[in-house]
Amino acid sequence: MKQPIFAANWKMNHAPADATAFMRAFLAHFGKRQDRGVIFFPPALSFGAVVGALKDRPDIQLGVQNIYWEDKGAFTGENSATIARASGAKYVLVGHSERRHVFGETEEETGKKVAAATRAGLTPIVCVGETLAQREAGETEMVVLRQLRAALSTVSSNDAGNAVIAYEPVWAIGTGKTATPADASTVHQAIGAELRRLLDSGSTAVPILYGGSVNRGNAADLLAAPEVDGLLVGGASLDAEGWASIVLT
């Protein structure tokens, strides 16, 4: 019986006061339970408000949406993995498609971020996914597995085995188009097989999440698909009641 992970990526939404109000509403719908993991990724400036709102709920985890790969220094505007960890984060998103496609993050940079996260004791959630053109050209697996190998190439197989992977097809993010559970499962199985090769192990404990236009209507079917261990949700995580109903799927 798998214990699914529900991760809310708020992206650039919810100022501190909105984040506090969200948490008040969400916690009213979501009591403590052991059978699922919940992680929030607020924007950096709202992180402290969410830490405060969750002070009595250690069952709910927090992560940051991005880090820089150096530990400290003259890097105006950036946050390090060390600062994130000291602020209460346990997770960090690395290689999200918006970082890759809006901000030009390269595969080499995702590797450096995974290394920095690991050094600081943060769990990286490595996001991989193909564009529509790559999918139509039959390159999905090649692209996704290349992104996966590049991101994990900087850490030992032991540390890679502590990562989380999120498969987020770029064409499904924020578009209302979702991969079918069967399509998602095919890619998840390919990721799982590559992880077993990389980690030189017959099985891995690395959870593989699906993301891309997940909503209340499709969450249960996606979660039921083989090798889908959880969901990484953007738009549908912004409303407290709606998100609670997804988490309680």
For binding to ligand 13P (CB under 6 A), which residues are involved?
A: 9, 96, 168, 173-174, 211-214, 232-236
Count of other CB atoms within 10 angstroms of residue 103: 10
Produce one character per residue of 107-124: b if its CB has 16 or more CB atoms within 10 Å, e if not. bebbbbbbbbbbbbebbb
Please check whether residue 125 is in contact with residue 92, taking contact to mean a CB–CB distance below 8 angstroms: yes
CA 140 – CA 91 distance, rounded (Å) = 26
Question: From residue 210, how far is each of 124, 160, 168, 226 by CA, in Å?
Answer: 15, 19, 6, 11
Q: Which of 14, 96, 130, 188 is catalytic?
A: 96
Catalytic member of 105, 168, 194, 227: 168
Please, what is the minimum distance in Å from the beta carbon of residue 215 to ligand 13P? 8
Minimum Å gap between C-beta 234 and ligand 13P is 2
The residue (of 147 and 199) whose beta carbon lies closer to ligand 13P is: 147
Residue 198 or 236: which CB sits closer to ligand 13P? 236
CA distance 247 to 35: 11
Q: How far is the CB of 201 from ligand 13P (least distance, A)?
A: 27
Whether 101 is catalytic? no
The least distance separating ligand 13P from the CB of residue 238, rounded to whole angstroms, comes to 9
The residue among 95 and 192 lying less far from ligand 13P, judged by its C-beta, is 95
39/173 with CB nearer ligand 13P: 173
Min dist. Cβ of residue 158 to ligand 13P (A): 27
Taking the least distance from each CB to ligand 13P, the nearer of 63 and 192 is: 63
Q: Give kind and range of the element (H or E) at residue 167.
A: strand 164-167
Using CB positions, name the residue nearest to ligand 13P.
234
Question: Is residue 168 annotated as part of the catalytic site, yes or no?
Answer: yes
Token output for 241: 């009641």
Question: What kind and span of H or E run contains 208?
Answer: strand 208-211
Q: Which two tokens stand for residue 214?
A: 């997940």
Question: What is the set of active-site residues?
Answer: 96, 168
